[in-house]
């Protein structure tokens, strides 16, 4: 263990400056750009504390001149932007869709309206042109992947096709996903369909807000997967399938499900005991903290403001923020929404997938318009080429 490993999680400005070897203005600039998380100092709220891991990461990057390969590798993992995009950005702790505040859009907008904004086209209903795909009550994600795979195998490539045709195809794909994840249409708008499918009409407005807030989030893992697929000229269905495959992982779309598990453990054993057990296994608490929101995930706040937070969640939120030193994020809010309205266990993932598919399509359309292939190089770390095997 090094001396740096023994530092507290949150550092005063003097310690952060000493590690970074920069002037205060540079420290504050890194905070404003979302590179260093901060929180108020409990002993003096006028002062700020700085997240140790973020400070150490930036300090390591400043040591010596780095090669292009190292810079590119760092950019892929919460680093500088790696692709130009006009679709969405997180800036100064706020999420914007084409320059419009996503939280403000969530006050009255629908996912259909947001799709028109992100796709830069007319608003169209999400209606599948083919017969409805029956939804699975036990494995909706599997049904959606199967439906998309069939379309991906049959649809023409997106490269070289006109934008009006692609936009029409995009709306049909959203209808296909809705059929697979929520069942045949029972409501004009997607949030109404979901509320009807889950027999929770009172949840419709909160579902609407969640869908808008989750529609896009820069180049997250699933969006990057969708965009790489689109760069090959593949069909929109193939791009959405790539995004959905990436979303299925526990470090991405599965975080809200992990939070539900932690809540159930807290109800059985008590919050402190459940958290201690979770942390003792070397697992990070799910649904707390986000590198792009040093002051807290605004999407979480926007959702929780319209929920009566169930008691286990209130206790979990307080304890988690105290232990982690970071605020709850949107995965926490999705789990709380699911519990508050007694939605199915798969509801958070369904909401995430349906909303983010709008963003995947937006990025696929944008990438297709560039006509370029995304093809990074690998920084080889294996045996020296031509080395003889030792017998």
Are 391 and 147 a contacting pair, CB within 8 Å? Answer: no
Which one of 54, 216, 331, 341 is the catalytic residue?
331
- Residue 288's beta-bridge partner residues? 328
Task: Please tell me whether residues 253 and 338 are part of one structural domain.
Answer: yes
Band (pLDDT 50/70/90 cuts) for residue 4 is very low
Task: Please tell me whether residues 173 and 311 are part of one structural domain.
Answer: yes
Q: Token digits for 34?
A: 């979302």
Task: Please tell me whether residues 191 and 335 are part of one structural domain.
Answer: yes
Cα 300 to Cα 302: distance, rounded to the nearest angstrom? 5
Whether residue 80 is predicted with pLDDT greater than 60 in this model: the reply is no
Band (pLDDT 50/70/90 cuts) for residue 391 is low
Q: How many CB atoms lie within 10 A of CB 56?
A: 17
pLDDT digits (tens, 9 = 90+) for 156-203: 999 989 999 999 999 999 999 999 998 876 668 999 999 999 999 999
Are 177 and 150 a contacting pair, CB within 8 Å? Answer: no
Task: Please tell me whether residues 240 and 119 are part of one structural domain.
Answer: yes
SS3 content of the chain, % helix, strand, coil (to 5): 55, 5, 40
Of 76, 105, 128, the one marking the end of a domain is 76
Q: Is this model's pTM higher than 0.75 or not?
A: yes
Task: Please tell me whether residues 29 and 106 are part of one structural domain.
Answer: no
Task: Please tell me whether residues 223 and 118 are part of one structural domain.
Answer: yes
Task: Please tell me whether residues 57 and 111 are part of one structural domain.
Answer: no
Of 76, 108, 133, the one marking the end of a domain is 76
- Residue count (the chain): 391
Active site residue 306: no
Task: Please tell me whether residues 354 and 206 are part of one structural domain.
Answer: yes
Residue 234 within any structural domain of the chain: yes
Which one of 191, 290, 346, 363 is the catalytic residue?
290
Task: Please tell me whether residues 193 and 325 are part of one structural domain.
Answer: yes
* pLDDT for the residue 79: 53
| Domain span at 10 | 4-76
Residue 56 within any structural domain of the chain: yes
Give which of 202, 209, 188, 178 is closest to 109, Cα–Cα: 209
CATH number of the domain that residue 321 is part of: 1.10.580.10
pLDDT digits (tens, 9 = 90+) for 9-44: 889 999 999 999 888 888 888 887 778 888 888 888
Task: Please tell me whether residues 232 and 360 are part of one structural domain.
Answer: yes
Residue 380 within any structural domain of the chain: no
- C-alpha torsion sign, points 223, 229, 233, 238: negative
Q: How many domains does the chain have?
A: 2
Angle between helices 163-182 and 190-197 (to 10 degrees): 10
Region 86-114 average pLDDT: 96
Q: What are phi and psi of 104, to 5 degrees?
A: -70, -40
Active site residue 331: yes
Task: Please tell me whether residues 172 and 201 are part of one structural domain.
Answer: yes
DSSP character at residue 52? H
Residue 200 within any structural domain of the chain: yes
Residue 113 within any structural domain of the chain: yes
């Amino acid at each position: 263990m090094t001396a740096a490993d023994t530092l507290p999680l949150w550092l005063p400005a003097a310690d952060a400056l000493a590690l970074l070897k920069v002037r205060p203005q540079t420290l504050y600039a890194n905070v404003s750009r979302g590179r260093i998380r901060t929180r108020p100092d409990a002993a003096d709220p006028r002062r700020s504390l700085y997240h140790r891991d973020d400070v150490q990461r930036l300090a390591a990057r400043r040591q010596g001149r780095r090669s292009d390969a190292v810079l590119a590798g760092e950019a892929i993992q919460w680093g500088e932007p790696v692709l130009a995009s006009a679709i969405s950005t997180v800036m100064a702790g706020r999420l914007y869709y084409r320059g419009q505040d996503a939280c403000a859009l969530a006050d009255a907008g629908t996912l259909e309206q947001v799709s028109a904004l992100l796709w830069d086209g007319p608003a169209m209903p999400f209606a599948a042109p083919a017969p409805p795909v029956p939804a699975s009550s036990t494995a909706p994600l599997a049904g959606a992947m199967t439906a998309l795979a069939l379309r991906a195998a049959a649809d023409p490539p997106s490269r070289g096709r006109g934008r009006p045709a692609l936009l029409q195809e995009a709306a049909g794909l959203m209808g296909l996903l809705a059929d697979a994840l929520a069942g045949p249409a029972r409501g004009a708008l997607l949030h109404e369909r979901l509320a009807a499918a889950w027999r929770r009409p009172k949840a419709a407005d909160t579902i609407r807000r969640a869908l808008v807030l989750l529609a896009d989030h820069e180049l997250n893992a699933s969006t990057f997967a969708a965009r790489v697929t689109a760069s090959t000229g593949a069909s929109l269905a193939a791009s959405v399938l790539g995004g959905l495959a990436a979303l299925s992982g526990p470090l991405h779309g599965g975080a809200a499900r992990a939070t539900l598990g932690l809540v159930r453990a807290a109800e059985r054993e008590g919050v402190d005991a459940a958290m201690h057990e979770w942390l003792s296994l070397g697992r990070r608490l799910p649904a707390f903290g986000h590198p792009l929101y040093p002051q807290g995930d605004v999407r979480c706040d926007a959702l929780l403001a319209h929920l009566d937070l169930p008691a286990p969640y209130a206790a979990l939120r307080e304890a988690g923020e105290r232990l982690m030193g970071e605020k709850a994020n949107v995965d926490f809010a999705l789990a709380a929404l699911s519990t508050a309205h007694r939605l199915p266990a798969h509801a958070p993932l369904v909401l995430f997938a349906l909303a983010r598919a709008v963003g995947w399509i937006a990025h696929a359309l944008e990438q297709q318009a560039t006509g370029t292939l995304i093809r990074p190089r690998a920084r080889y770390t294996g045996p020296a080429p031509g080395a003889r095997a030792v017998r």
